[in-house]
Amino acid sequence: MEITSSQLTRLVAFINKIESETYPETPSSIHSAITAKMLDMLLCKYNISTAARILDIGCGQGPALEIFREKGYVNTVGISLNDEDVRICTEKGHDVHKMDQSFLEFPEGSFDFVWARHVIEHSIFPLFTLTTFARVIAPGGMLYLEAPAPETACHHERNPNHYSVLSRGTWVSLLERCGFVVRDEGSYEFQTPMGPDEYLGFICSKN
């Protein structure tokens, strides 16, 4: 299939529209707690060296980047599509760039560990996005992917900025198609004012 210039123009316009609808990611207590818990486990269990090259995709205002820095990780980079988040992270001294998760502007194999927590649900084409993640991870590198589960009391699939709120099995299938091995899975269930909610986590290595 050959994409015409008019089709490409429509796709670019659609992606630009989505970018204009992003919002600043102010850290929340539940997200910060899960971030701290998972990083404590991941960095230790999988022996991720403090010299590892790390990419935080959808870094928000830097909660994970702060933890990496506190733990002595010096080769960390973050990306976000939101100008305010990029500005705040930069002011904190983090190396953060405005970039779309589906079009990572890094050379192949640039990173040893990619942290992608609550960002893939914002992708309009998650299979393509995951292939982009795989491209920038070095062979043997790690990916942590986390996303909201569908059909909970919070109905994340109805969030106007969520385009891919998929089931556990669907995420596993997509990850495997992109060359990842799912080494461990987690589920975080908790109560919200709207009722029970759930997040799905996947610890993966790249073949």
Per-residue confidence of the chain (207 residues) as pLDDT tens digits?
Answer: 788 999 999 999 999 999 899 989 888 888 899 999 999 999 999 999 999 999 999 999 999 999 999 999 999 999 999 999 999 999 999 999 999 999 999 999 999 999 999 999 999 999 999 999 999 999 999 999 999 999 999 999 999 999 999 999 999 999 999 999 999 999 999 999 999 999 999 999 998
Q: Which residue has the tokens 């991941």?
A: 42
pTM: 0.95
**Cα separation of 66 and 160, whole Å?**
29
Q: According to the model, what pLDDT value does residue 2 have?
A: 85
Q: Sign of the CA dihedral 54, 65, 43, 122?
A: negative
Q: Would you kindly state where each structural domain of the chain is located, as residue ranges?
A: 27-206
* Strands laid side by side in the 195-206 sheet: 96-98, 76-80, 54-57, 111-117, 137-148, 195-206, 180-192
What is the CATH number assigned to the segment(s) 27-206? 3.40.50.150
Name the nearest CA neighbour of 115 among 53, 174, 69: 53
What is the C-alpha end-to-end distance of the chain, expressed in Å?
29
Buried b / exposed e over 9-42, threshold 16 CB at 10 Å, is eeeeeeeeeeeeebeebeeeeebeebbeebbeeb
Q: According to the model, what pLDDT value does residue 63 have?
A: 96
Contact 65, 78 (CB under 8 A): yes
**Cα separation of 82 and 147, whole Å?**
19
Q: According to the model, what pLDDT value does residue 72 have?
A: 98
Q: According to the model, what pLDDT value does residue 158 have?
A: 96
Q: According to the model, what pLDDT value does residue 125 have?
A: 97
Q: According to the model, what pLDDT value does residue 175 have?
A: 98
**Cα separation of 51 and 164, whole Å?**
33
